Structure formats: C-alpha cells, structure tokens
Amino acid sequence: MNIKSIAIFGAGYVGSSLGILLSQFYEITFYEKDQEKIDLINNKNVFLKDFNINDLKNKELQFKAKSIFEGVLEHDLFILAVPTDYDNETNNFDTEIVENVILEISKVTIESPILIKSTVPVGFTEKARKKFNNKNIIFSPEFLREANAMKDNLYPSRIIIGDEINSCKNIASIFTKIALNEPNVIYMSSSEAEAVKLFANTYLAMRVAFFNELDTFSLIKTLDVKKIINGICADQRIGNYYNNPSFGYGGYCLPKDSKQLLSSYQDVPQNLIQAVVESNQTRKKFIVDQILLENKDNIGVYKLDMKKGSSNSRSAAILDIIDMLLIANKRILIFDKKPVDVFREKKNISFTTKMDEFLNKSEIIIANRGDNFLNKLEKRVIFTRDIFNEN
C-alpha cells in the first residue's frame, strides 16, 4: 500500500499534533466542523499550546483543512481522532460521531484503511467491521498528554496496532517515520488494543487515586505527606512520578476511560476498577469538607485548568468541588481567563480576570494546582493539595 494522501478527522490536540508532523511526508487534509479551527489551520496558525511551528520551519509542510460538511474526498488512509464522550445514561462511550464518519468514508471508498484513534469500548472495532462490511477498519490507541502531544508523538512509548493484516506494517511505518526514537511496535487484535487503552488510563487514574488517598490519610492523622511520598517513591519499583496529590483526577481521558472500563466489567468479577472510579468522588467530597472547616463564605477559586501548562478544564475535579460548595451556600469567585458555560446560569458564582478584585473579595483561595504567584501571597488563607508544585 502506497500512502501519499491522509485524511484526519478532528483537529483537537490528538489530530492536530499528529497531522502536522505527518505533513512533513504526506499530503494531510483535516476534516473539521469548527470553522475557527479550519481557518487557523489553513492560515498555518497552529493553536496547540505545546506546538511551535517554527520547529518545522525548514520542512515543507503539506496540510490544509476543510469542513466535513463539504464532503469527504478519497484518500489513501483515514485517521479518526473525533471525540467519544462518556454517556452517563448508557454507561458507555457515545460513538455516534465515529460511526457517522465511517459511514461518510464508506460512501467514497472501502479500499483505504480507516484507523481509529478515538477511544472506543472494547469490541467496538469488530462490530464496526461487521456493521459497515469493511475489514479495513483498524484501531490504534494514542497515548498523548495534553500540552505534550507533540513530544509524545515524537518520542512514543510504544506504537500499538490493532490488527495484523498486511497494510498494518505500512500504517505502523507512518508513525515510526515521525518518531525521533525507536519505538516498539506491538501488533494485536483490535479488541486487545482497545483494552490496552482503557486499562492504561485506568491504571494512571488508580495511581492518582492512591496518592490522593495517602494525602487524605496524612491530613487526618496530621502526618507530613511530602515525607511519606518521598519515602515510598524512593523504591524503584514504585518510582518517583505521577505522585503529586490533587483535588482528584480529571481531564479528557481518565474519568471517562475508567468508567467505560468499569462498564465493560459487567459480567466479570472485580473490586479494584470500581474502587478507582468511586475513590475520585470520595476524594472530592473530602476536599470540600476540608474547605468548609475554614468557615469562610466567600471562596476564591484560582484557575480551573486541570494541571499546569493545560488550557483544559474538562471534567476537572475543581468543577465538582465548586458545585458542592454552591450547595453549601458559599459564594464563589473564579479567577480565570474565561467563564465556563456550565456555571453561566448558576447563582452565587462569578468570574474575574482582575487579580486585585480576586484578592479583595476572597476570604480563602483554593487551587488544585498552585504556582509561584500563590506562594508569594503572605497572610492569605490558601488551600491546595499541590505538595510538589508540579504536574
């Protein structure tokens, strides 16, 4: 299979980072619904925080964007990086967008492979092959961190291809071509590859939950959590990483992927996976209880971003904590660059971008992740569980 032209559906951090790197070697067409993203891409204005297009200024990049509503053209490879949000009513990912895209591609060709990068339930790809009568639908999980998507594409920990048909070696080669290391390529069935993605993210969620529960224990027992974590993580089997306490895990992947994995365990004995999901809610409730102990009515929330270097507040633990504080009749003032729609209609909540106003009106400041500015605020009541001032 000779690959020259690649279509990428979805211009989020997964699709954009991958597509721009691939455009060094292939003709890339992004298909998007968001006209603002389309215009940015066509004007070569990359909107990813972690991406500097100047790093590729000596390369001849071949990428453009068009609206999916204009229709899909024929390409040698189709990559799907569209969202699959978790539906709490069905306890499953909503795969409607993925299926709609596959349907549109099928109207053009069934010969070119369709590579799913969107996270899907275990067994989805096999079902899609039967539904669309197309054996060329393949799943390959992504393991990208937001704000580090470029680096993770350049130095992948591994490349997993969810099939072993002949075209898969060619598909794997497009990822190794952009890699600056020599990643291990692992071939397996599509269902096994789907399981790798869900289990990997649930393990990371479990690790976050573990250190959060360690922090809860330390607070109640008045122990120095930093010393305990340093003592534990000196063991090389455990490692000194992903161990900074927080208000709870959040973001695009960990909450929804752990819930989807738990849903997949419907007929399988388990205790740990459910505990990972439940632990996050327990942690957030505990954090609220600790804040309420301060007995302050006017609470300032310093930024909604899930972690440092991120512009993402999606499913961030702080959002649920704000909701619980509102139920407790607290007034909330959020210091952030822009309001979040979910709070727009709620009472006792407001936003500001003026630090003086934020400091004057806040009796206590809460921050999932601190920074050097907060550290300099003497004589202020600041509540954070950011022990190591990182992540």
Catalytic residue list: 253
CA-CA distance, 345 to 348, in Å (whole number)? 10
How would you label 9-21 residue by residue, b for 16+ Cβ within 10 Å and e otherwise?
bbbbbbbbbbbbb
Radius of gyration of the chain (CA): 23
In sequence order, what are the residues at sequence separation of 6 or more whose Cβ sits closer than 8 angstroms to the Cβ of residue 238?
232
Q: Can you name the residues that pair with 138 across neighbouring β-strands?
A: 115
Question: Residue 265: how many CB atoms within 10 A of its CB?
Answer: 12
Q: For residue 352, what are its two tokens?
A: 């500001």
Residue 259 DSSP symbol: H
User: What is each CA distance from 19 to 125, 213, 245, 285, 361, in whole angstroms?
Assistant: 22, 39, 34, 40, 45
CA-CA distance, 55 to 20, in Å (whole number)? 11
In sequence order, what are the residues at sequence separation of 6 or more whose Cβ sits closer than 8 angstroms to the Cβ of residue 109?
74
